[in-house]
Structure 1
Amino acid sequence: MRASTRPRTHHTPRTRVRAALTILATLTSVALTTVPAPAAQADTAAGTHLTGTLSDGAAWIADVPARWNGTLLLFSHGFGPTVARDAPSDDVRTELLAEGYAMAGSSYDPRGSMWALNSAERDQFATLDAVTARIGAPRRTLAVGQSMGGLVNAQIARDGAGRIDGALGLCGLVAGGTDLDNYQLDAEYALARLLVPGKGIDLVRFGSADDAAATAEQLTDAVTAAQSTPQGRARIALAAAFLNLPAWAPGKDRPAPTDWADQEDQQYAWFAQGILAFVEGGRYAVEQSVGGNNSWNQGVDYARLLAGSVHAPQVRALYRAAGLDLGADLASLNRGASITADPGAVRAAQRTSSAGQGLGMPLLDVHTIADNLVPVEQERQFGERVRAAGDDALLRQAYVERQGHCTFTTAETVAALHALEHRVTGGHWDDAATPAALQKSATALGLDGAAYVPYRPARLTVGRDRPAHPTHH
């Protein structure tokens, strides 16, 4: 283990965090002011681009190649501006159009929150109706979803039997909105209570996007200051464990399994990139969508929560090296845990922002193993729910050895789609969704490489199933 006094030469640039806050505010502004385009059609030698508007004001778009292979892809976009998209990236769109696929997708309702789960699934099905009315019934329809759209996609995979033939999820937020807000709350709470005790930082029920941004900046400043001491680094590692934050950051070599100091250093790198700005901005959007706070920590046993984390050995080692009493910090967290949920918000999130209650079609989920925004552990949580519903034969999950959120190559995405088609066409997965088969398929495309690997995610560190006596606090 490296000495805990190893010098750190980098600190969080406040400009980087403020830039993240500015980006988030801009995204919010765009999302709330986007006006859907009127119905239109543009034809080129390569194909046709269609646009239209749904009854709730959502915009939809579609791209149909000149030589359509009969398969329509219904794409659900992630968290951000409620602007219609029909592919995960421009490069993926170009490749799939060249292979003959048609693509469509909606903005979701632009008049609400960027956490548009109140309308997303409905708008996707309405988009399917609008597009097929223009181009005719496809031979096959496959749903594809990315990030928050991966949650929408899982809902479509649950509800769309008879209309959708199969689904592909990319870096999907499949554990749902309440698990997301709960484990993020644990991390935010640990940072606030242990790094800036007595400051009264608001963690839930934000009145505005500015309130969320202020909390993000306060917490990020606290992390920046704490990184300069062994005690601060140990506490950052504790909060990172609650956040399910990977210990492998972009541009860095993957740390050794017991190099605890380097692991924390790379977790800090995620914080330095402004992750808390997006966490708090996302919380504000969820609260807008579900009508209140759907997260709680009253009754959470933080010692037990840490014990279930894959990062527990790292945290214990850093606390020992820093001469800190981990038990005392965990007891302090237990004593102060008093945040309760709003019952209506919990019910709304369960209704609109959950998945895993069953599958009506084959679903292949793909995830990077070091995802900072939607931890790969969400796949474990989702898979257990699908298995509990008795639908595990329909689900396959595959993993890419890379850092970052949704950082798939075009080849990895297209190969996953081909594996899903194998299951839909033949009625069996066979070995099409295995790491070796996906890697071979992606490499054979000759595009931009692939890194499919065998992998089993750890359990999601979340520590609760339902709130006890959820009342306003």
Structure 2
Amino acid sequence: MKVRMVVVLFAVISALLVPLNAGQPATFVPLPADLQDELEGVPYRIRVPANWNGTLLVYAHGYGEGVTPPLLAPLNADVETLSARGFALAASRFAGSGWTVKEGMQNTLALTSAFRDMVGRPLRTIVWGKSMGGLMTLGLIEKFPGHYDGAVALCAPASGTPRRFDQGLDLALAYAVAFGWEPEWGTPGDIRNDLNFMTEVMPHVQPQLGIDKKGRWEFVRLVNRIPIDSYYAPLNFRVTTLYFATAVRAELEDRAGGPIAENIGRVYTLTGPEKSDLAILGVDADQLLAEMNAMSTFRSARNARNYVEHYVDPSGRITRPVLTLHTKGDALATPTNESAYRATVEQQGNANLLMQQFTNGVAHCTFTSAQDIAGIDAMISWLETGNRPDPSSFFTPALGFDPSFEPQPWPW
């Protein structure tokens, strides 16, 4: 009797797992499926088309994009195109708000595992993400290669959280010598945790945005190797970069338990031509550099530094293919991040697992849907063939890619 019950139960389960089409993975739910619920109190969304091709794309959203239902891709057009082509899409919100790299990685990993229980086992899984989510993508593919077959990181601060906010310290310090610093904000190396950017910082910054102060803003831009494309009006990333260097860093310092950034022994420099250009704008670059170099004394708190190193500082120890896409004019996560990440990967002898491509975009994460899809297509090709994608087949000038672009080195 018991044997008969087991046989019947097995037959029922097997029937439930029969794929709808030849070559399609077995599923626990009828397709198409659009599942929206919470996992450990965090909203998620899973969308699987009737023509599922067996690939799961797990998306990690960027800073400040924690909406419900969660974004399944960088652009709505991506969602429709990818769904029509048979891709399953999944994404989670992140617990809390702010620089939630720790929580975002945990929530994304949990959803990846839950997909197998709720829907079925994919033939392959690709993790991809944008901006802060791009950094999570690099962390997930490195730490959990058993869950992901490949990674596509878009406009990521790929140098890692520590260097990303060390650069924020550099920017705050350059701003301080160029325009002054309000003691109520804390110090350039230790921002007051509850600093309100809009009510405390912006009233001081607003009057400094006029054309008469351009020379001093140019000093801030050049010493931090920020592309000019989106730095000034109309996009005006002068404000956005300062916001991340102050208020975003303040929130992360509170989260980490102390100052996270450091610049011990850093030497700030500019080239001769850059100094000459600044002189034409009325700026004594040598004087400002001397003031910055006199303040190469900021040290992080060890426990706080440990936190940001863990969430996350890529080690370059990758065992799966990684593709990064970056806009040339990104003033927030500068293209120098790609130089830093490439050097880290090369130091581990894994250059064969990394491909980096750049678009002509003039701001942070301003990719077109066609560019996003090109990244996914290239990764699919890489996984299916085992060969690095041919850039001329996927990342063409007609789509807005620049195959000749080489980012500047990381500043230090």
Common topology (TM > 0.5): yes
The C-alpha deviation readout for 1:34-68, integer Å capped at 9, x for no partner, is xxxxxxxxx99x9321123223x222211111111
Letter in 1 for 2:37: G
1:78 and 1:145 in contact (8 A); partners too: yes
Tell me by how many angstroms 1:391 deviates. 1.1
Matched, 1:460 2:410: yes
Tell me by how many angstroms 1:336 deviates. 3.7
Aligned to 1:176: 160
Aligned length: 380
Given candidates 294, 305, 323, the residue that maps to 1:335 is 294
Aligned to 2:221: 240
2:328 is paired with a residue of what secondary structure? Answer: strand
Give matches, 1:6-405, under 5 Å.
47-55=32-40, 57-83=41-67, 84-110=70-96, 113-196=97-180, 201-202=185-186, 203=188, 204-210=190-196, 212-214=197-199, 216-217=201-202, 220-221=205-206, 223-224=208-209, 227-228=211-212, 232-249=213-230, 266=232, 270-271=236-237, 274-302=240-268, 306-307=269-270, 312=271, 315-322=274-281, 324-405=283-364
The C-alpha deviation readout for 1:346-378, integer Å capped at 9, x for no partner, is 111111121133112001101110112111110
1:374 and 1:405 in contact (8 A); partners too: yes
Q: CA 1:410–1:117 in structure 2 vs 1: closer, same or farther (change >3 Å)?
A: same
Aligned to 1:469: none
Aligned to 1:15: none
Letter in 1 for 2:87: Y
Tell me by how many angstroms 1:220 deviates. 2.0
Letter in 1 for 2:409: R
Structure 2 CA distance for aligned equivalents of residues 81 and 421 of structure 1: 26
The C-alpha deviation readout for 1:397-448, integer Å capped at 9, x for no partner, is 01101201111111111111111111111111152xx2x22245x96xxxxx
The C-alpha deviation readout for 1:281-338, integer Å capped at 9, x for no partner, is 3212322332222112343222xxx24xxxx455312233245432222112222444
RMSD: 2.6
Structure 1 CA distance for aligned equivalents of residues 182 and 135 of structure 2: 37
Structure 2 CA distance for aligned equivalents of residues 368 and 137 of structure 1: 34
Q: Which runs of 5+ in 2 are unaligned?
A: 1-28
Structure 2 CA distance for aligned equivalents of residues 459 and 219 of structure 1: 32
TM-score by length of 2: 0.84
Tell me by how many angstroms 1:274 deviates. 4.7
1:234 and 1:315 in contact (8 A); partners too: no
Letter in 2 for 1:380: S
2:54 and 2:122 in contact (8 A); partners too: yes
1:82 is paired with a residue of what secondary structure? Answer: coil
Q: CA 1:389–1:234 in structure 2 vs 1: closer, same or farther (change >3 Å)?
A: same
Q: CA 1:324–1:338 in structure 2 vs 1: closer, same or farther (change >3 Å)?
A: same
Structure 2 CA distance for aligned equivalents of residues 316 and 272 of structure 1: 20
Structure 2 CA distance for aligned equivalents of residues 285 and 64 of structure 1: 36
Q: CA 1:165–1:393 in structure 2 vs 1: closer, same or farther (change >3 Å)?
A: same
Q: CA 1:269–1:146 in structure 2 vs 1: closer, same or farther (change >3 Å)?
A: closer
Letter in 2 for 1:317: S
Tell me by how many angstroms 1:74 deviates. 0.8
2:360 is paired with a residue of what secondary structure? Answer: strand
Aligned to 1:425: 384
Question: How high is the sequence identity, in percent, across the aligned residues?
Answer: 24
1:237 and 1:315 in contact (8 A); partners too: no
Structure 2 CA distance for aligned equivalents of residues 268 and 339 of structure 1: 34
